[in-house]
Structure 1
């Protein structure tokens, strides 16, 4: 976590999320159906995030966030996908269903 700031019930946090893509990353449609499956690439990533919280009486009432999803997708090789990775995605989606 970097730079947490609090003022009058509003808390803001700038952070970095990092990890390694070792398991399928599943994306769902609004009705709960599987939309996309990103099979593991084994690649590492690190992206920045900003989180904002409205706090009252020690409880979080609202939460907003900004993430660098495109940066993560680029680091993991999801964007632009190679033809081989598109094939792996289609195969992973079929297996998931």
Structure 2
């Protein structure tokens, strides 16, 4: 079962080549449980439910329409699937109040999904948003 989830995760997060040729960034829908919880302590409660999770993903894709995610490792065990990934894309739409810069950016992160009845029931994601904001020129770190 774990190897099936590892394979499904790789397929779900990949961009289909025919869609890329058409300039479309459509991804396969991951099966989400109705009561999905996205465990993001910094986000508002309404963004932790399935609809909020989907809105967050769509907002990111709107700001970075050519985003590509590369999975580096995918691990599955005991009802969990985890992966480390890098997303690369061009800032072409408003993001967190930042007007498009046209900059090509790269962001790394890790994601853990808890599975229940063959669907994602809970997810934890940590991405380097601070690094992303630096690349967009929105913040400067002190020296």
Superposition TM-score, scaled by structure 2 size: 0.47
Higher normalized helix content (fraction of residues):
2
**Superimposed CA distance per residue, residues 19-78 of structure 1 (whole angstroms, 9 cap, x where no aligned partner):** 01111114xxxxxxxxxx100111111110100000022111100010100110111111
Superposed, 1:4-83 pairs within 5 Å as 4-26=74-96, 37-80=97-140
Provide the secondary structure at the position in 2 that maps to 1:42: coil
Higher normalized strand content (fraction of residues):
1
- The two structures, once aligned, show a CA RMSD in angstroms of 0.9
- Aligned residue in 2 for 1:83: none
Query: Larger Cα Rg: Structure 1 or Structure 2?
Result: 1
Report the count of equivalent residues.
70
Structure 2: gaps (5+ residues): 1-70
Structure of greater relative contact order (alpha carbons < 8 Å, 6+ residues apart): 1
Structure 1: gaps (5+ residues): 27-36, 81-97
